[in-house]
Amino acid sequence: MSLMDQSWVKVQQKAFTRWVNAHLGKRGLQTDDLQTAFKTGINLIQLLEVIGEHTFGRYNKKPRMEIQMRENIEIALKFIESRDVKLTAIGAGDIYGGNLKLILGMVWTVILRFAIAEISVEELTAKEALLLWCQRKTADYDNVDIKEFTWSWQDGLGFCALIHKHRPDLIDYETLDPKNKEDNLNLAFDLAEKELGIPKFLDAEDMIDVKPDERAVMTYLAEYFKVFSKGQKAETAGRRISKLVGLTKKNEELKEQYILSAEALIKWMKEKTSELNDHDFDNTLDGIKNKLIEFRSYKSEEKPGKLREKNDVESKYTSLQTQLRVNNRPLFVPAEGQSLEDIDNLWLGLEEAERTRNKAIREELARQEKIR
């Protein structure tokens, strides 16, 4: 096996083992070695029960002989194939015998089917949809250019941008340096695990100075999608609401909630954008230092709350439209200037005003310090 082969095997084995453990942990199980994890078939069946939301019938729960273990593995493989998954070049003997490369291939197939295939954007394949989602979420970030699932993620800024896009209170993105790859990666991985509940499938060492493994990166990014994507939850919530209250009354309430929330948010964005675009400083060092403190306070305290309001407005809109759609009612059309597109455009204008104000403050601070 070449050094390159050894590298991808090592990274995939680590990432896939952690993915497997994230699900087996729900049953109080875990494994340290993916090569032998499924030898008895029990862990594989337990894993499939968790991720496939399926209860297996009879199987050998305490297998002692090879034939019993192989039977368990066969049961698991047949279930995988029953979910329209094509398994090639792998059988019970390969798993029982610990053929690591084939086991990694099988786990990747399972990940694709049960963790990534559910990702859907504009009728693309799951891989294309995940990439498009990542591109859209990071499009406005400096030094981030997502083109694939390997080199684009090596400096850690892509992961940091995804976190900042949804939780700007967790990361001061503007202070990050693309040259500090290890620091950026560790920051993203640690925050994702501690604050968002996303298991750490990757380590910084898996990404630096080597081509990141595409499958390992995709497996990890699928967890970000699950945490941050709210469309399915909103649709489910919409169906539940329609069963609990009178449809017409509830829809009118949701419309009113959306309109009031949207109006308040739009008013704030316009006022704040105008405030940020005011670069008329008082020409003193103390004054510009105070402006910098105020700006940082806005970024860390005021803006995160408004982002949550923006997400809430989007959630109200989605819930309303979902209810109307599933009940075959005409969709809600917001008044001029109050659509989600209008709100997104105002938010983009706000962020542009932030960037120009940040630049203006720092330039004025440098000028004041120089002339002092």
Cβ neighbourhood burial of 149 (10 Å; 0-12, 13-18, 19+)? buried
How many angstroms separate the CA atoms of 209 and 192, rounded?
23
pLDDT for position 5: 54
104 and 131: one domain? no
Spell out the residues 6+ positions from residue 259 whose beta carbon is closer than 8 angstroms to its own: 334, 335, 338
- 236: confidence class by pLDDT, cuts 50, 70, 90: very low
DSSP string, 20-68: HHHHHGGGT---S-HHHHTTTSHHHHHHHHHHHT----S--SS--SHHH
Q: Are residues 238 and 367 in the same domain?
A: yes
Sign for the pseudo-dihedral over CA of 134, 136, 137, 140: positive
Distance (Å, whole) CA 112 – CA 233:
21
Q: Are 265 and 347 contained in the same domain?
A: yes
Residue linked to tokens 């649709």: 235
What's the pLDDT band for 84 if we cut at 50, 70, 90?
confident
- pLDDT by residue (tens digit) across 33-83? 999 999 999 999 999 999 998 899 899 999 999 999 999 999 999 999 998
Please tell me whether residues 249 and 365 are part of one structural domain.
Answer: yes
Write the pLDDT tens digit of every residue in 146-168.
999 999 999 999 999 999 999 99
As a whole number, the mean pLDDT across the chain is 89
Using the structure block, give the residue that is written with the tokens 């105008």. Answer: 274
CA 55 to chain CA mean position, Å: 29
User: Which residue did the predictor score with more confidence, 239 or 270?
Assistant: 270
Q: Which residue has the tokens 């070049």?
A: 89
147 and 242 inside one domain: no
- 245 and 355, same structural domain? yes
pLDDT at 6 over 80: no
Is the predicted pLDDT of residue 256 greater than 50, yes or no? yes
Going by the DSSP 8-state scheme, the letter that residue 178 receives in this structure is T
With respect to residue 273, please indicate whether it lies within any of the assigned structural domains.
Answer: yes
Q: What CATH number does the domain containing 362 carry?
A: 1.20.58.60
Residue 200, CA distances (Å) to 181, 192, 194, 233 in order: 17, 8, 10, 24
**Residue 259 to residue 27: CA distance in whole angstroms:** 45
Between CA 81 and CA 246 the distance in angstroms is 43
Burial of 179 (0-12, 13-18, 19+ CB in 10 A): exposed
The model carries a pTM of: 0.62
Which amino acid, 113? R
Burial profile 221-259: b = 16 or more Cβ within 10 angstroms, e = fewer: bbbbbebbbeeeebbebbeebbeeeeeeebbeebbebbb
Q: What is the structure's pLDDT at 57? A: 86
- Statement to judge: residues 175 and 85 lie in one domain: no
Last residue of a domain, one of 181, 199, 228: 228
Mean per-residue pLDDT for 343-348?
Answer: 95
As a whole number, mean pLDDT of residues 267-281 equals: 95
CATH number of the domain to which 58 belongs: 1.10.418.10
Domain that residue 55 falls in: 3-116
CB atoms within 10 A of CB 283: 11
pLDDT number for residue 118: 77
pLDDT digits (tens, 9 = 90+) for 348-367: 999 999 999 999 999 999 99
Give dist(CA 212, CA 222) in Å, integer. 16
For the chain, give the percent of residues with pLDDT over 90. Answer: 75
Residues 274 and 357 placed together within one structural domain of the fold? yes
Q: Are residues 158 and 200 in the same domain?
A: yes
Supply φ then ψ for residue 86, to 5 degrees: -95, 115
Please report whether residue 121 resides in a domain. no
DSSP string over 266-323 = HHHHHHHHHHHT-----S-HHHHHHHHHHHHHIIIIIHHHHHHHHHHHHHHHHHHHHH
Same domain? For 185 and 273 the reply is no
Q: How confident is the model at residue 88 (pLDDT cuts 50, 70, 90)?
A: confident
Residues 214, 237, single domain; the answer is no
Q: Does 231 score more than 60 pLDDT?
A: no
Residue 349, in any domain of the structure: yes
Among 228, 258, 285, give the residue marking a domain's end: 228
- How far, in Å, CA of 316 to CA of 256, rounded? 10
pLDDT confidence of 232, banded at 50, 70, 90? Answer: very low
* Residue 242 pLDDT grade (very low, low, confident, very high; cuts 50, 70, 90): very low
**Alpha carbon distances (Å) from 203 to 10, 186, 196, 239:** 12, 7, 17, 40
Q: What is the CA radius of gyration of the chain?
A: 25
Cα 99 to its chain centre, rounded Å, is: 32
Q: In the prediction, which pLDDT does 28 show? A: 95
Q: Final residue of a domain: which of 96, 116, 136?
A: 116
> In which band, very low, low, confident or very high, does the pLDDT at 104 lie, cut at 50, 70 and 90?
very high
Does residue 172 lie within any of the structural domains?
yes
Residue 334 domain-assigned?
Answer: yes
Shared-domain flag, residues 235 and 366:
yes
Structure tokens at 77: 């493989």
Contacts of 60 (CB under 8 A, 6+ apart): 41, 68, 69, 71, 72
**Number of folded domains that form the chain:** 3
- If one compares 259 and 241, the residue with the highest pLDDT of the two is 259
Residue 150 phi, psi dihedral angles, 5° rounding = -125, -95
User: Does the pLDDT of residue 136 top 60, yes or no?
Assistant: yes
pLDDT at 101 exceeding the cut of 60: yes
Whether 246 has a pLDDT exceeding 60, the answer reads no
CA nearest to 127, candidates 199, 202, 225, 61: 225
